[in-house]
A and B are shown apart, each in its own frame.
Chain A
């Protein structure tokens, strides 16, 4: 990745190496006129976006034929910073909106980039149904264990006993295990990384982008302003250290075993990689069968 960045900058300023640093290496895929972004210091969403941008630069995909859809919340703002045909839609409905795009024009590569509250709580229904239908899209779910944009409320991913503003005595609801939901609903590609595993995450995004079907990548991310502060876990760097010490890569692990406890071990890796016909494939198959039947009869 380093070599690519350097060559890119040199391309922009071939005659003057002193200008290195004047052009952002990801200018092609980010809306530089919107920077600085709104995310707090210590937040991990920027890292997830960096990994995504790096993946876009390396993946052999026509970016003009790609669309990104986000819902609401901190991660919901991602669509606004990525220079693709981008949609910032309603809370939880990014997948539904993206389904419309994909079904109406299957040539478009669709990415949904949103948070855990958006995709798994209010958008949980759309998530499981898109996985069941196997709509060809990549869902990147940034999981920071909390509703951060609204100020630190309990999320469906908040670990048991963790504090949030709406569970001042500790969370009493067991959290969702996102890879397990995705797997059992029919996703063809499921992976989980933390924002520390930036290159693995980037590689995973490339792999998933080239995969046909409903792919889910969960990105565990620090929320320094709310989750860490309320639970007294330090700042973003402390969280990264925690990920460093407590995450374990186990590719192919059964998704049932991927629950995340409060400050417990986080299992990361690629868990599911399989083939299933996509919605569009089945739809076209049905259409051609119908047309065939009609030709025979007529």
Chain B
């Protein structure tokens, strides 16, 4: 489906990540934003408002992040593509409605510009500390989609992809970036409206008497209708059957919740996007995502110059995790080096998916590591030394001490 050209600011622009995100949302057809101000995400909100009047978009600043995401879910059921933007502390408050969004299978986009935490942390320093929170922060079982852009251009692209995934899989999709990318200004190419492909919402069009809000179609996703279309449907956050009526037993729990997980797991291959650079002859692969992958590419070049065969695996989609590909590569390489702006989150997945076939060296770093590749280079050198990386994480730490 083609997008509404009013939202597309075609051309070459110099934008920071936040502004690129707002443009991406408008280009994807987002017409409702519910938010609550927070550093470092609020430029998305401001940019959206500036352009709202031209494109006919609606916004509301709610009283907190809890209500912001609640309003977004409500708005989504009226047929408007909706999103909210926040940072870590706001994300913590949104967890309640992330769960509701998953249970009501409501398409929407949540942009999380990560900042240093826990708690208030440092509002204007980048971090990648919310990676696990965004995956399983809300209670109960579910699978989520999270995309990690590493530049303003990717921020634009990922925001559009996030809207497309949210409509395709009927799930809240997270764009999980960080303060570094959000405030980094780079050239962003916004293509003409006719080149932007957007996923249409899958509507139910049958008779009004037979509508079942949670009856799954061939693609494993229930069809939606809008409020006001006359279907008089009911949906609930309780465990429910196809009619959307609550059923309180084990069978229904399985019937309801298992597909919430499987609709992502079974389609992981369609969702996952990774970028591989110089993988073929690599002995060491840096697995990275977001701002960190910029440093990873730089370190890769530097290491190659000094004769170490290093490749890069950059994750655009972090959740669902590219298990298969990481597992395949684990059999080929000497070590994975995983830099993150936290103290070990996605590295756990890399370790798990390696199944002990290779060594995994974790490089924790603050935001300094985005520009400075010293830590990363020394970890790469360390990983090449024989017998030194049986347990990369522990030994590398010891070596540093």
Q: Which of A101-109, A139-147, A196-204, A246-254 contacts B (4 or more CB under 8 A)?
A: A101-109
State whether A125 touches B64 (Cβ < 8 A): yes
State whether A126 touches B63 (Cβ < 8 A): yes
The answer to whether B201 has its CB under 8 Å from any CB of chain A is no
Contact code string A52-67 (vs B, CB < 8 Å = 1, else 0): 0000000000011101
Q: Which of A13-21, A86-94, A214-222 contacts B (4 or more CB under 8 A)?
A: A86-94
State whether A103 touches B77 (Cβ < 8 A): no
- Of A88, A90, A98, A294, the residue contacting B234 (CB under 8 A) is A88
Contact code string A70-83 (vs B, CB < 8 Å = 1, else 0): 00000000011001
Contact code string B245-261 (vs A, CB < 8 Å = 1, else 0): 11000000000000000
Task: Enumerate chain A residues within 8 angstroms of B73, measured Cβ to Cβ.
Answer: 89, 97, 100
Interface centre among A34, A99, A294 (most CB of B within 10 A): A99
The answer to whether B227 has its CB under 8 Å from any CB of chain A is yes
State whether A90 touches B237 (Cβ < 8 A): yes
The answer to whether B279 has its CB under 8 Å from any CB of chain A is no
Given contacts A80-B234, A93-B97, A125-B63, contact A104 B53 (CB under 8 A): no
Task: Enumerate chain B residues within 8 angstroms of A100, measured Cβ to Cβ.
Answer: 32, 34, 60, 70-76, 78, 82
State whether A93 touches B75 (Cβ < 8 A): no
Q: How near does chain B come to A181, taking the closest CB pair, in angstroms?
A: 15
Given contacts A89-B100, A105-B78, contact A96 B227 (CB under 8 A): no
Given contacts A99-B74, A103-B75, contact A90 B53 (CB under 8 A): no
The answer to whether A244 has its CB under 8 Å from any CB of chain B is no
User: Which residues of B81-133 are within 8 A (CB) of A?
Assistant: 82, 96-97, 99-100, 104
Measured in the bound complex, the distance between the Cα atoms of B83 and A100 in whole Å is 11
The answer to whether B62 has its CB under 8 Å from any CB of chain A is yes
Task: Enumerate chain B residues within 8 angstroms of A99, measured Cβ to Cβ.
Answer: 60, 62, 67, 70-71, 74
- Of B228, B229, B235, the residue contacting A87 (CB under 8 A) is B235
Measured in the bound complex, the distance between the Cα atoms of B58 and A83 in whole Å is 28
The answer to whether A24 has its CB under 8 Å from any CB of chain B is no
What band does the interface of chain B fall in when counting residues whose beta carbon is under 8 Å from A? 35 or more
State whether A88 touches B236 (Cβ < 8 A): yes
Q: How near does chain B come to A139, taking the closest CB pair, in angstroms?
A: 15
Given contacts A104-B32, A104-B78, contact A84 B62 (CB under 8 A): no
Task: Enumerate chain B residues within 8 angstroms of A88, measured Cβ to Cβ.
Answer: 234-238, 246
Task: Enumerate chain A residues within 8 angstroms of B228, measured Cβ to Cβ.
Answer: 64-65, 67, 85, 105, 107-108
Measured in the bound complex, the distance between the Cα atoms of B76 and A264 in whole Å is 45
The answer to whether A290 has its CB under 8 Å from any CB of chain B is yes
The answer to whether A69 has its CB under 8 Å from any CB of chain B is yes
Given contacts A88-B235, A89-B100, A90-B96, contact A101 B74 (CB under 8 A): yes
Which residues of A approach B to under 8 Å, CB–CB?
31, 34, 63-65, 67, 69, 79-80, 83-90, 93, 95-101, 103-105, 107-108, 125-126, 129, 279, 283, 287, 290-291, 294
What 18 new A-B contacts, CB under 8 Å, besides A87-B236, A97-B74, A101-B77?
A64-B230, A67-B227, A69-B74, A79-B234, A80-B236, A85-B227, A85-B231, A85-B232, A87-B234, A89-B237, A93-B66, A93-B70, A95-B67, A100-B73, A104-B74, A108-B228, A126-B63, A279-B60
10 shortest interchain CB distances as A-B pairs: A100-B74, A100-B71, A96-B67, A104-B75, A96-B70, A88-B236, A64-B230, A105-B78, A100-B75, A101-B74
15 contacts between A and B (CB under 8 A): A79-B234, A80-B236, A88-B236, A89-B100, A96-B62, A97-B73, A100-B73, A101-B75, A103-B71, A104-B32, A104-B75, A105-B75, A125-B64, A126-B67, A283-B58
